[in-house]
Amino acid sequence: MREEDWEIIEERAYTDSLSRCGDIQAVEAALYGIDYGLRRNPMNFPLVPGLAETHFAKTRLRVIEGSVVPSLRMWFRPRPQDRVVFKLYVEPCPPGEMKFGENFWDTKDDDGIPF
Cα→Cα distances 58→1, 3, 53, Å: 23, 26, 17
Query: Phi and psi dihedrals of 72, rounded to 5?
Result: -120, 150
Structure confidence at residue 115 (pLDDT): 47
Structure confidence at residue 65 (pLDDT): 84
Comparison of pLDDT for 83 and 3, the residue scoring more: 83
Burial class (CB in 10 A: 0-12, 13-18, 19+), 107: exposed
- The pLDDT tens digits for 65-90 are 888 889 999 999 999 999 999 999 99
The whole-chain average pLDDT of the chain stands at 87
Number of H helices, E strands in the chain: 3, 6
